[in-house]
Amino acid sequence: MSITVVFFLGLFVALVGVIPPGLLNMTAAKIGLKEGPGRGISFSSGVCLIVFIQTYVAAIFARYLSNRPDIVEILQRVAFVIFVLITIYFLVIARNQKKAKVEARIMSKKSRFFNGMLLSALNVFPIPYQAYMTITLASFGIMDFERTSVITYVTGAAMGTFVMLYFYIFFFEKIKDKKFTSQKSMNYSIGIITGTVALVTFINILREL
C-alpha cells in the first residue's frame, strides 16, 4: 500500500476521533480565544506529540496482536460489545447531560505546550482506539506493520489531530453558538462515530466466520 494512502488513512482516523467537541479541542479553542492563536497552537503541538507516541505504542501493540489471531478474535468481540454499549450510552442516556465548561488559565507558550502534553497523556483513549483501527486496517490488507508504514500512519494520526485542533482554534468563535457544539450534538457525534466503528467490527467478525 502506498505510504501516501497510509498517511491519509492515519490522518482521517485521528481526525474522526477528534471531531466531537471534547476536553482537548475545546481547551485548545478557549486558549486561542483568550490568549491568542499562538498559544493555542503551542498547546495543540504538545497534544500532538503525545498522540504521536500513543499511536506508535498502539501500532506496536497491534503488530504483536496480529501474530496472535486467537487473541485478536477475542478482542474483536469484546471491542464490538464495548463500542455498542458506548454508542447506546451517548445516543440514549447521555443526550440530556449538561455541557461542562472548560476554563482556560493564562499561561506562557512553553507552559501551554507542556499543558497540552499533560492533558493528552491523561486521555488514554487513543491507544485502544488506534490499536483496534490499525489491526482492522491490516486485516483488510490496507496497511502492514513494516516500520515505514507504521511511522507514516503515526505521523498522519498526529497531523490529523493537529488539523482538527487548528480548526477549533481559528473557527470556534464562529461556531460556538451553533447547534452542533451543544452537549446533545456532541453526544450524537460520538455515538455515530462509535456506532460506525462497531459496524466495521461486526463486518470484520462476519468475514472471519
* Closest among 48, 192, 57, 198 to 136, alpha carbons compared: 198
pLDDT average, residue stretch 139-149: 86
Residue 53 has pLDDT above 90, yes or no: yes
Confidence of residue 166 (pLDDT cuts 50, 70, 90): very high
Q: Which residue has the higher pLDDT, 42 or 25?
A: 42
Q: What is the pTM of this model?
A: 0.75
What pLDDT digit, counting tens, does each position of 174-199 carry?
Answer: 655 555 445 566 667 667 777 887 78
Backbone angles phi, psi at 140, to 5 degrees: -85, 0
Secondary-structure percent of the chain, ordered helix, strand, coil, rounded to 5 = 85, 0, 15
| Residue 180: per-residue pLDDT | 47
In the chain, the percentage of residues whose pLDDT exceeds 70 is 80
Distance of alpha carbon 139 from alpha carbon 128, whole angstroms: 16
Distance of alpha carbon 1 from alpha carbon 9, whole angstroms: 11
Residues 6+ apart with CB under 8 A from 45: 113, 116, 162
